[in-house]
Amino acid sequence: MKMKALKAAFPHTIPVMTGYLFLGMAYGIYMRVSGFPLWYPLLTSIIIFGGSLEFLLVTMLMAPFAPLETFVMAVLLQARHLFYGLAMLDKYKDQGKKKCYLIYALTDETFSLNCSIDAPEETDKGWFMFFVSLLDHCYWISGATLGGLLGSLITFDTDGISFVMTAMFTVIFLEQLLKEKKHHSSFIGFISSLICLYAFGKGGFLVPAMLMIMILLTVFRKAIEKGEGS
Amino acid sequence: MTVMQQLITIFLCSAATILMRFLPFAVFSSDKKTPAYIRYLGKALPGAVFAMLLIYCLKDVDLLHGSHGLPEAVSVALTVSLHLWKRKTLLSIAAGTLCYMILLHFIF
């Protein structure tokens, strides 16, 4: 049963594998070049497992010690995970022991896969989502460690490889548009993010964008629920 | 920073991440019925969040300077059209990424 779920999950994780291996390597190299030991990228890829925060962490580690500021910044940057949790409440509900790890490893990419893809019939849903999460986690750890090992030894022309994530989110968003009957929510997300990106700049637009999405979804709840026929 | 302070910084980042990931599940535990409003959010959010993530990926694009976001626009357009045509996820992603890398390398 587990093997079957693993085999079913693997192909879906290939884009994430590409992205995580390269981004992870970039992160590992960045850590080493900044003068930190090899086990830092290894440790952080295991216990943080959140790309953007880990990159930011390097800057934090080089600045003077500021625990409160660090924590607040990390919470703000990771606040988007609240959304993933809300959206996955039902799917992760009855996963027993696996549930803890599923939540622990809920990154942007793992969320997108587990939220948009349904396990094939005859495959155990829980194990399918578990392996998507575990494979993604392994890719990230491998990438970060590999990057840490290589340090600055190797530079090859991989400019633009991180676009694999953009392409993946493009396809996932497109699939969502094709699947849904009404596009209220997608439209709200799109417009809110654009407006906030323009108003607050790329460094701090996520939190206001999320607030705006919440407010608009709440204000237009009746219309949206009607449109979905539920 | 001393090594101890560095470790504290790392653990604080880990704690913040774990907190944000577990909070919704801790607040709305499975034994109690989830409020209708939260269930509605759970259903309505994915569309909005996917849109937000896509914009988040493209946040560094500068329309006014450099390549004016052309390589991104072309590659996203290719990904979308190929996907609408063939509906093969891996193919669309691979083609879009390769296109972007080639554009970046040879043209921009």
The minimum CA-CA distance between B66 and chain A, rounded to whole Å, is 15
How many angstroms separate the CA atoms of A101 and B30, rounded?
A: 16
Asked if B46 and A185 come within 8 Å (Cβ–Cβ), the reply is yes
Is A22 in CB contact (< 8 Å) with chain B? Answer: no
**Tokens at residue A230, please?**
């539920």
Q: What is the pLDDT of residue A230?
A: 40
Q: What is the pLDDT of residue A185?
A: 92
Tens-place pLDDT, residues B56-82: 889 888 888 888 999 999 999 999 999
Q: Which residue positions in chain A have pLDDT lower than 50?
A: 229-230
**Nearest alpha-carbon partner for A139 in A182, A189, A105:** A105
Q: What is the pLDDT of residue A158?
A: 64
> Where are chain A's structural domains?
2-156
Q: What is the pLDDT of residue A9?
A: 96
Phi-psi region of B33 (alpha: psi -120 to 50; beta: other; left: phi over 0): beta
Q: Please say whether the beta carbons of A148 and A22 come within 8 A.
A: no
ipTM of model? 0.89
Residues ≥6 apart with Cβ < 8 Å to A30: A55, A58, A147
Q: Please say whether the beta carbons of B12 and A61 come within 8 A.
A: no
Q: What is the pLDDT of residue A229?
A: 44
Query: Which chain A residues are Cβ-neighbours of B84 within 8 angstroms?
Result: 174
Query: Which chain A residues are Cβ-neighbours of B56 within 8 angstroms?
Result: 193, 206
Residue B99 has pLDDT above 70, yes or no: yes
Task: Kindly report each contact of residues A31-38 with a partner whose C-beta sits within 8 Å and lies 24 or more positions away, as own/partner.
Answer: A31/A58, A31/A144, A31/A147, A31/A148, A32/A147, A32/A148, A32/A151, A32/A152, A33/A151, A33/A152, A34/A58, A34/A61, A34/A62, A36/A61, A36/B6, A38/A145, A38/A148, A38/A149
Q: Please say whether the beta carbons of A202 and B59 come within 8 A.
A: yes
Q: Which of B6, B42, B48 sits opposite A186 (nearest CB)?
A: B48
Q: What is the pLDDT of residue A157?
A: 60
Tens-place pLDDT, residues B12-49: 999 999 999 999 999 987 667 788 898 898 888 889 98
Is B23 in CB contact (< 8 Å) with chain A? Answer: yes
How many angstroms separate the CA atoms of B67 and A44, rounded?
A: 35
Tens-place pLDDT, residues A66-125: 899 899 889 988 988 999 999 999 899 888 899 999 999 999 999 999 999 989 988 999
List, as ranges, residues 123-142 from A with C-beta within 8 Å of B: none
Instruction: For the beta carbon of residue A66, count every other beta carbon within 10 angstroms.
Output: 15
Indicate the angle between helix axes B3-27 and A39-47, nearest 10 degrees. Answer: 10
Helix and strand counts by DSSP (H, E) for chain A: 12, 0
How many angstroms separate the CA atoms of A193 and A59, rounded?
A: 26
**Nearest alpha-carbon partner for B104 in B74, B60, B62:** B74
Query: Which chain B residues are Cβ-neighbours of A49 within 8 angstroms?
Result: 17
Query: Which chain A residues are Cβ-neighbours of B100 within 8 angstroms?
Result: 160, 163, 166-167
